[in-house]
Structure 1
Amino acid sequence: MGDVKTPRRGYHSPVRADAALRTRRAIVAAARELFLEHGYTAASLRAVADLAGVARPTVTAAFGSKPALLRQILDEALAGDDEPVPVAQRPWFAPVLEATDPAAVLDAYAGVCTLIGSRAARMFEVVHRAAGDSPELTELWATLGRNRRSGAEMVVRRAVETGAVRDDIPADHVVDSLWMFNDPALYTALV
């Protein structure tokens, strides 16, 4: 009846997957070090590759572009690891969602902001300084601000869900205040 093609089985090598993960982590660590030490613009992908001990094309193959590598570093700084789990689903964010009154929600969120600030504040500054260098970085900086504001909105909603809050201040003003306080630059200035 003709040629019947047998589907090929997928190939998966745990050894190769582990090596690829180690390579990605080495690239991220090297880029983080160079971006923090020299700034985003001055740190070339060639320098990242050299410090990571890989070939320059390996960096591009792993991340695609320098802005994508920067986004990965930011994601890891915000989350604390390279697992694809949203911040709101992290165990260290759980106290915000489990709090039973508005004061406890805000107290738990202050802990989250301190934790994130300790890991990500310096990388936020790297992005802020490079934001005018390209439209992609300008958009990344704007996205970081929008994400912080969304986080503030979520926390305010949670505080309202848990009990009575002041009704003489418009909710958007409360969100704006919390958005200001969750700025990693404030963490840097105070800590």
Structure 2
Amino acid sequence: MIAAAQTLFLERGYAATTMEAISRQSDVPSATVYRLFSSKLGILRAMIAVSVDGTPEAIPLPEQPEARELLKSQDPTEQLAGFAAICRQVNDRTCQLYQVLVSAAASDPAAADLLAELAKQRKAGQDRIARALSRDKSLRPGLRQRDAADIIHALMSPELYRLLVIDRGWKPDKYQSWLAGTLIDQLLSARD
């Protein structure tokens, strides 16, 4: 069902895809589709959650073992390189669905609310990175934790990923390397 919905959202767009079309495409009765997801937005929400995590369990990113370990790391360079890798992986998986949501948000208030909710969750997770760097006194001199969080939020944004990887044709590896280097250069104290 999820795969059928994703195909239809990408081919037709969110607005033109109906629950009935998803039912037909997935060969699942309409009543079952409605019972499981209640709406197109419910399906899109589930698709994004699974895509962010990369597994059917849809574990929120801050609760994933890799992210928790990186937040505890005493090596800020390793920490930022690790989060750049996670950011790249998440954007690789969610880029197309994120664009579907952005498009849907332009005409559907509930989709706009979901987009705002996801941005808030992303910001909260990225604030944790800035807090960890500040706690460990790894931020470059004069850089406030709040400003570090804003830099992280901007550089790790799905919009910047799309601009560089999709629009400009960067390879995902190049994006990840650039992101890690830029985060390190912008946030960390110079090392001797």
TM-score of the superposition, structure 2-length normalised? 0.79
Question: 1-side partners of 2:99 and 2:12: how far apart?
Answer: 12
Equivalent residues, number = 165
- Equivalent positions of 1:34-183 (< 5 A) are 34-183=8-157
Change (3 A) 1:91 1:33: farther
Deviation per CA, 1:36-73, whole angstroms, max 9, x where unpaired?
22211111111111111111111101111111111001
Deviation per CA, 1:81-118, whole angstroms, max 9, x where unpaired?
22152212224424522422222221111011001000
Question: 1-side partners of 2:110 and 2:88: how far apart?
Answer: 28
Question: 2-side partners of 1:122 and 1:85: how far apart?
Answer: 20
Name the counterpart of 2:7: 33
Gaps of 5+ in 2: 166-192
SS in 1 for 2:16: coil
**How far 1:173 moved relative to its partner?**
1.6
CA contact (8 A) 2:49 2:58 kept: no
Rg larger in structure: 1
Deviation per CA, 1:147-187, whole angstroms, max 9, x where unpaired?
11111101111222334322412222211111111112222
Gaps of 5+ in 1: 1-26
CA contact (8 A) 1:101 1:159 kept: no
C-alpha RMSD over aligned residues: 1.6
Deviation beyond 3 Å, 4+ runs, structure 1 = none
